[in-house]
Structure 1
């Protein structure tokens, strides 16, 4: 099955919210509050052209948020509908994020995740991201990672 990515539009907003809610709700008990992606203003992010949706069989099954920054592309959120997890949609979104960053002229891509989201950290490590530092921000203990684009081994 083919996975395609396209910029989200406002009519995708309810689906984007539902996928983010479904993908992150199980982390609330682990971290003691809603994860950052559950608090984002997706209407504004869609209006700003930061949100992409992944479709398979004409159904939105993934959400990707990319934020260009001065020094790198920020991979701000990757969320896959629970029923589609393990199907390759997440991998396709990560590839798309890297391709988009390269096309925008960036030499690396960065992200952060809650340090309690160990599954995500393991996934990003498998995809070549390396930890750069940890910090507490807005009451959330975050782990920062980056990846040099165009290389397959772990880089900082």
Structure 2
């Protein structure tokens, strides 16, 4: 019996430029006879683009299924490119990448996602509309049209997640003043389910003043879900353990009231020491 490997998303590095180029060319080649030219993504130097945009790769084992390129702007997350390998199209991978864009937007504290596409790319436009994107402008371009689209992330959920997003951003910057701002004065901090680790902002501050001394400390957001006034983050945290630099998966649950974090629970996975 053949066992199908799970799909995962990882951030691309410089060595992925060749694979990204091949996938994008394959994905967009079907549009050449439709518009009579190569779409602009086929002309991009992806070695240079990797320095300008964040590229996340959807993979299954060593197989590259799709890519999404994004950049954070003043009031929104911009999707520069999204593409799925032709044999994998129609399997929901485009939707997976768009949901990942929502995670990135929420993590960056941005209420909108914006993109543009060619007016002739009917399948792409239909996908975006299914995910809540609306057309905001249409303009002529190279004998066709460019369609500008935008998606507003759930306003209530976005607002509820803002204290959590701010404290994660400050955590990664090791800025203790900004980190403490979203926490209520009488907040409580637990190891899941009910082991109290810190009671009150002063004790939480003391824990993190020490934690911020770790040179490689960084929390990478994998997903964020908002249900009512609860915000659940799945993170992979890089830390400097006594045994050396390593990673640990953490499920973080925050209770938010009146714009402040009032309670938080943390469920830790097994730490993984990284090879030097």
TM-score by length of 1: 0.89
Q: Which runs of 4+ in 1 moved over 6 A?
A: none
**For 2:53 and 2:118, how far apart are their aligned partners in 1?**
25
| Structure 1 partner of 2:6 | 2
| Cα pair 2:53 2:71 within 8 Å, conserved | no
Conserved? CA contact 2:114–2:150, under 8 Å: yes
1:90-101 matched pairs, under 5 angstroms? 90-101=94-105
2:64 — aligned with what? Answer: 60
Q: Which moved more, 1:134-143 or 1:105-114?
A: 134-143
Structure 1 stretches lacking a partner, 5+ long: 152-156
- Show structure 2 runs of 5+ residues with no match: 156-276
Larger mean CA deviation between 58-67 and 113-122 belongs to 58-67
Q: In structure 1, what is the Cα distance between the partners aligned to 2:40 and 2:144?
A: 8
Query: What TM-score comes out, normalization by structure 2 length?
Result: 0.52
Distance in structure 2 (CA, Å) of the matches to 1:114 and 1:82: 18
Name the structure with the higher strand share.
Answer: 2
* Larger-gyration structure (1/2): 2
How many correspondences in the alignment? 151
Greater RCO structure (CA 8 Å; 6+ sep): 1
RMSD: 1.6
**Correspondence list, 1:98-117, <5 A:** 98-117=102-121
Task: Find 1:119's aligned residue among 120, 123, 131.
Answer: 123
* 3-state SS of paired residue (2:139): strand
